[in-house]
Structures are given as structure tokens and as C-alpha cells.
Structure 1
Amino acid sequence: MKSIKHIILSLMVLLGGSQLVQAHAIWLESHPIGVKNKAHVVRVFYGEYATGEIDATKDWYSDMKELTVQLVGPNQKVQTLRLEDKGDFLEGTFLPSEDGLYHLFTSHAAKDLGGETRYEFVSQTRVKIGEGEALPMIPLRHQLSVDAKVSSVGARVPLLLTSDGKPVVEKDILVMSSAGWSKTYKTDQEGKILIEAIWPGKYVVEYSHMEQQEGVWHEKPYKKNWQGLTTSFLVE
């Protein structure tokens, strides 16, 4: 029997999907600092971070469980991680074999349309191993960039929103903490925001946008494409 939540999500899609866009997102969680030659864990969650609501994987929308997580390391090679279903999240590991920055990302367009809208769920995060600052490039048009570090309570955490490598200005970005605190920021003329790290714990950042875009997806026509992009950072 389908859960009540799954039925509600299905009704939202039939009604046009706008509530679904605002309510649910995919996000990656991984500790920003790792150790060379030691397995490093990354997890994929789906739900409403602002309210602490994490959906069981059996209730994920459409074919979201079929998403893939890719990794680009200092050598610029792309690796697809093997994911295991843990019930409340998907989990994968990678073995960093050299010092430097590692970039993890997922981009998945759901098989089912919401009315005439195609939904694309995107997330990214960075992990730093030892020394080295060269940033591996990833094939995402829109990106939310935050340093791979553990920030301190009271710090102001800089974040950059770009599209095709250029800053995206005067756009709303939602910042949510595991303490239940959330705030909407607007990017400045350099595409940046400064986030007040008021509470310890994991923070998830989300930027969503809708584009007029016509096409055919799984043999069904659509007129709009929505993308929800997230990243995360840690405060201790």
C-alpha cells in the first residue's frame, strides 16, 4: 500500500507540481575533510531539510532512486560511485588516492513530468584531502560553490552562485540548518552571499529556477524545465 505522503506527492504532480518544487530536494552529505587512502562516505537524501523531514527511499518521487553520484578528483578523471540503498538514504564511498580537492555531484531529471514541467534535481559538494587547492571541474551549468572546510559557530560562510562560470546576481538562495533555522538570502553583484553560521551542524543550501523550455521527455511533451540545486557545509 502506498504511503499517504506518496499519494499527496502524486496529487501535487497531477495538479502541476508547484508545491513539489518548493517542498522537496535532493542533497549530498559528506564530511568536507578526508584522509588520503581512507574510504570516504557520501550520502544522498531526499526530503524537506528545513523541517527535518527525510523520506524513506521507497517513497522517493518517480525514479529518483536511480540517480547516480559522480566524483572528479585532482586528476580530473570522472568516477561513478556504487550506491547502496540504506532505507532512508543512498550511500557510496570513494578512496582518495592523492591530496587535493574532490568534487561530488549528482544530476537527475525525474522520469515523470509534473503536468507540463520537467523536474531536474541537482546537488554538489566538495571534499578536501591534505594539501592542494586546484578545483576539479564538473559538468554542471549552475553551481553553488562553498569551501571544503569545517566552519566555526559565529563565522560568516561565503557562497557563490554561478551559471556557465559567470556570477548569478540578485537571485534568492535558501539556507537551512539542522537546528530548524532557515533564511533566504539574495546574491550580490558578484553572485555571492555571506551566511551567518549561527548554529552547529549541517547546513543545506538550495537554489531553484524555472525556464521556459519545450521538449519531449520519455515520450511526453513538456513546456517548462525546473531545476533544484543544492550544496551543503558543516559548522562545529
Structure 2
Amino acid sequence: MLNKLLLCCACLLAFATGASAHALWVETSPSGKKGQAQEVRVYWGEYADKDISPLDKWFSDTKAYTLFVVTPDNKKIPLASTPGKDHYKAYFTPESDGVYTVVMQHSVKDVYHGSRLDYHASAQVTVGKGAAAANANSNAISVEAPARAKYGVNQQISLKSVLSGKPTSGEVEVIAPNGWIRKLWADSTGIVNFTPLWPGRYMVEVARTDKTPGSHQGKNFDAIWRCATYCIEVK
């Protein structure tokens, strides 16, 4: 009986620690300057565990992602990535004031445990004054906060999650710089609020599963798992 209890506890622990799956995310400074190159970095790993995978350990063809930036006047500019130590990096140079939206997307070639894996990530860069272009993030799933050059500790942040162009309710996961995880629930408008307790980079993640079967790269799947990430700098 004791052995069964220990085994049950071990299984629950494994489930809890494995809840945050690997993801792709984008990091860049939330503020930029006209005429100055802005660096964008793409990582793969488990953010909560500070587990950043080296490039040769990225799953399947994950590194074949698409990366582009949407300018304030809604122009879409592809970004070419070059390998770094544990990430890929790209650059763009803002030419006007406003909000620039960096967008990454990728459907993994290999079907994983019966699911097609769709990864999405975004970041926003504020240059001078101005707003983001309408519908700048065209990803199938996204989660973002209003673009700001700076967020502060103990200042509430509003997040909005979108699926297929419409607000989506459901779980939103916020991962603090120290690995602390908080699971929140977005309402029917896709909105959820949280208040950062520590300075540093937070990652927000939303995942949804569509149980519609299909075929991808010649392989059948039972569901599509979509994940979106977004990083927030808190001073």
C-alpha cells in the first residue's frame, strides 16, 4: 500500500514539474530608436526552469521558423536569422516612430504523440510616440500586453489572448524571472490581469488544443496543439 502511495505521489510530482512544455519565445528590448539596429533573439526551451536548449538540441525542424516585423504603417518585413550560442538572432532598423511588432510562427514537421505542434511568439518595440499597426500580429494564436517601453513592479498589466482572430477565454500562464508560475484565467473578452512582484523578464504563455484530425507532412494527427508566448520587461 505504501509503495502504491509513493508511486502515486511520484507521478503527480512528474506531472506538475512537466506541465510547462518546451516553447519558442522571442526576446528584444521593448524600446528602440530610429536609425538604430534592433536585435531580436529566438530561444527554445523551458523558460520556468531556465533551461535554454543549445541549437543542436532543438526538436525536429523547429529552427525553420518564420520571423518578420510589422512596421507602424503595417508593412511586413521578413527577418533573416543567424545562429548564436544558444539562440538565433536577427536585426531590423526602425525608420519612424511607432510600435513595431515582431512575429514568429512555425508548424513543426514531425507529429508529436499524435499532435501537430504549432508555435507562435511575438514581441513589441516602442520607438518614440505612436501606436501599433492594426492587426499587426496575424498568428493563429497570440497573447500580448499593450506596448510600453517600460513596465513597473506592482503595476497591473492587462493581457489579451486571441485565437483565430477572436478573443479566447481560458488558461493563461505567467512565468516570473525566478521561475515562479502563476496560472490565470482569461474571461470571454480574452482579457486577464496580473501584477508583477519582481523586476526582470516575464514570459506569458497560452496554449489551446484543437481536436480536429488531419494530415501534416504526410503524417496523420489527431489534434493541433497551438502555443503562443510573449515576454514582458519589468523594471
The TM-score with structure 1 as length reference comes to 0.87
1:122 matched to 2:120? The reply is yes
Q: CA RMSD in A?
A: 1.6
Q: Find the partner of 2:78 among 74, 77, 80.
A: 80
- The letter of the residue matching 1:207 is V
Within 5 A, what are the aligned runs for 1:1-236?
A: 22-136=20-134, 137-149=136-148, 150-169=150-169, 171-236=170-235
Note if contact 1:160-1:167 (Cα within 8 Å) is conserved in structure 2.
yes
1:126-178 Cα distance to aligned partner (Å, 9 max, x none): 11111111434232232212122211111111111122443222x11110022
- The letter of the residue matching 2:120 is V
CA distance in 2, matches of 1:50, 1:120: 20
Q: Provide the secondary structure at the position in 1 that maps to 2:66.
A: coil
What's the offset of the Cα at 1:66?
Answer: 1.3
Q: Provide the secondary structure at the position in 1 that maps to 2:231.
A: strand
Give the aligned length: 217
CA distance in 2, matches of 1:173, 1:216: 28
- The letter of the residue matching 1:93 is Y
Note if contact 2:74-2:133 (Cα within 8 Å) is conserved in structure 1.
no
Q: Provide the secondary structure at the position in 2 that maps to 1:139.
A: coil
CA distance in 2, matches of 1:116, 1:22: 19
1:27-74 Cα distance to aligned partner (Å, 9 max, x none): 111111111110001110111111111111110000011112111101
- The letter of the residue matching 1:172 is E
- The letter of the residue matching 2:24 is I
Q: Provide the secondary structure at the position in 2 that maps to 1:173.
A: strand
Note if contact 1:154-1:197 (Cα within 8 Å) is conserved in structure 2.
yes
Note if contact 2:66-2:105 (Cα within 8 Å) is conserved in structure 1.
yes
Q: Which moved more, 1:138-147 or 1:94-103?
A: 138-147
What's the offset of the Cα at 1:213?
Answer: 1.9
Q: In the alignment, what sits opposite 2:4?
A: none
CA distance in 1, matches of 2:66, 2:33: 24
What's the offset of the Cα at 1:192?
Answer: 1.1
CA distance in 1, matches of 2:188, 2:218: 40
- Long gaps (5+) in structure 1: 1-18
Check 1:220–1:164 CA distance in 2 against 1; reply closer, same or farther (3 A cut).
closer
Note if contact 1:33-1:148 (Cα within 8 Å) is conserved in structure 2.
no
CA distance in 2, matches of 1:99, 1:79: 16
Note if contact 1:162-1:191 (Cα within 8 Å) is conserved in structure 2.
yes
Check 1:176–1:47 CA distance in 2 against 1; reply closer, same or farther (3 A cut).
same
CA distance in 2, matches of 1:66, 1:87: 17
CA distance in 2, matches of 1:124, 1:173: 15
The TM-score with structure 2 as length reference comes to 0.87
CA distance in 2, matches of 1:133, 1:25: 28
CA distance in 2, matches of 1:37, 1:106: 23
Q: Provide the secondary structure at the position in 1 that maps to 2:211.
A: strand
Note if contact 1:58-1:87 (Cα within 8 Å) is conserved in structure 2.
no
